[in-house]
Amino acid sequence: MYMVQTKQLTKQYATKRVVQNVNMHVKKGEIYGFLGPNGAGKTTIMKMLLNLIKPSNGEISINEKSILAMDYHYLKNIGSLIEYPLFYEHLTAKHNLQLHCAYMQFSDPSAITQALDLVGLTASTELKVKEFSLGMRQRLAIARAIVTKPTLLILDEPINGLDPIGIKDMRELLLKLKTEQNMTILLSSHILSEIECIADTIGIIANGILIEEVQMKAIKQSAEKTLHIVLDNALEAKPLIEQHFLCKVTYISPTLLHINQFLEATATLNAFLIRHHFAVHQIDVHHSSLEDYFIQLMHGGKQ
């Protein structure tokens, strides 16, 4: 059921606990987004999943098998990009991928061209990596992560250094990998909007603590909607609306009112206000976004 599961995962350095009792659950075939500010422990958790960093405490299981400090066989099914994209600078893009395949004991000569094509680097295959820009390195690193067609993809800040078109391509590529190859993708970012539009589940992390794991669907459903009304003389309008529509109206400023219910009948409301000679300038339905939700949680976490 779960591709990645951790129990009470903790990493403690001499003085600081960088990851504390993290219980995360990544389902098979979903995109799981790690969201948190810089230094929250996202990279450390990902490195622990790859056994690059050994946990001080807790358990990790990948594909239902628990991972010990000395294990390495399970890495065959994982593609990864951690922190900065690292390559052998004096070798060409293609040669770097060939080496990767050889070390992964993966032999499919067409896979390299395919992967380079998927990330849009077909024109630069014979260039040495030292001539690459950060965005190109990032693309190449993703090509390296997916070339062996792993079942689990671990990407740390995959959109770092990409241009807007690159970001869009990446989003489409990840969705494609998820649907066509049924890959489970674990990615991290500190940019909300990026995770918001592709992730199925979001793990919100701050100061090494996993604050909450939520389904994107649930957030979208529970997102609160408010009606914002901009009009003259808000103070007089408030009791009138409350009486007539039997709802709670919040007075924000002399020209702004908020209503939390009663969202469908904006036309009726507008007509009513005009009948009572209020000058209505604007009525709109405001959706609280993931950003509000995130900030709310962050503040909750700090308290």
User: Which range, of 79-87, 199-207, 213-221, 251-259, touches other proteins by CB under 8 A?
Assistant: 79-87
Alpha-carbon span 159 to 164, nearest angstrom: 9
Cβ nearer to other proteins, comparing 69 with 123: 69
- Please classify residue 95 by burial: count the beta carbons closer than 10 Å to its beta carbon, then call 0-12 exposed, 13-18 middle and 19+ buried: middle
Residues 115-144 that bind other proteins (CB under 8 A): none
- From the CB of 107, what's the least distance to other proteins, in Å? 12
283 binds other proteins per the rule CB under 8 A = no
Question: Residue with structure tokens 């993708």?
Answer: 185
Q: Exposure string (b/e) for 235-262, b if CB count within 10 Å is 16 or more?
A: eebbeebeeebeeebeeeeeeebebeeb
User: Which range, of 21-29, 71-79, 210-218, 228-236, touches other proteins by CB under 8 A?
Assistant: 71-79
111 binds other proteins per the rule CB under 8 A = no
Q: Pick one of 73, 275, 277, 302: the residue that binds other proteins (CB under 8 A).
A: 73
User: Which range, of 33-41, 70-78, 156-164, 289-297, touches other proteins by CB under 8 A?
Assistant: 70-78
75 binds other proteins per the rule CB under 8 A = yes
Count the helix, strand and coil residues of the chain and give each as a percent rounded to the nearest 5. Answer: 40, 30, 30
Q: Pick one of 8, 65, 102, 287: the residue that binds other proteins (CB under 8 A).
A: 102
DSSP helix/strand/coil, 243: helix
User: Which range, of 59-67, 80-88, 107-115, 198-206, touches other proteins by CB under 8 A?
Assistant: 80-88
Start-to-end Cα distance in the chain: 34
- From the CB of 195, what's the least distance to other proteins, in Å? 23
Question: Residue with structure tokens 């690059």?
Answer: 52
Q: Pick one of 17, 94, 104, 120: the residue that binds other proteins (CB under 8 A).
A: 104
User: Which range, of 78-86, 115-123, 163-171, 249-257, touches other proteins by CB under 8 A?
Assistant: 78-86
- Please classify residue 75 by burial: count the beta carbons closer than 10 Å to its beta carbon, then call 0-12 exposed, 13-18 middle and 19+ buried: middle
Alpha-carbon span 102 to 117, nearest angstrom: 20
Cβ nearer to other proteins, comparing 156 with 196: 156
User: Which range, of 32-40, 64-72, 155-163, 239-247, touches other proteins by CB under 8 A?
Assistant: 64-72
297 binds other proteins per the rule CB under 8 A = no
68 binds other proteins per the rule CB under 8 A = no
251 binds other proteins per the rule CB under 8 A = no
- From the CB of 12, what's the least distance to other proteins, in Å? 12
**DSSP structure class, residue 123:** G
- Please classify residue 193 by burial: count the beta carbons closer than 10 Å to its beta carbon, then call 0-12 exposed, 13-18 middle and 19+ buried: exposed
Alpha-carbon span 191 to 87, nearest angstrom: 25
Where would I find the H helices in the chain? Answer: 42-49, 93-103, 109-118, 134-146, 164-180, 192-198, 216-222, 234-245, 266-275, 290-302
275 binds other proteins per the rule CB under 8 A = no
Q: What does the binding site for other proteins look like in residue numbers (CB under 8 A)? A: 47, 50-54, 69-70, 72-76, 78, 80, 82, 84, 86-91, 99-100, 102-105
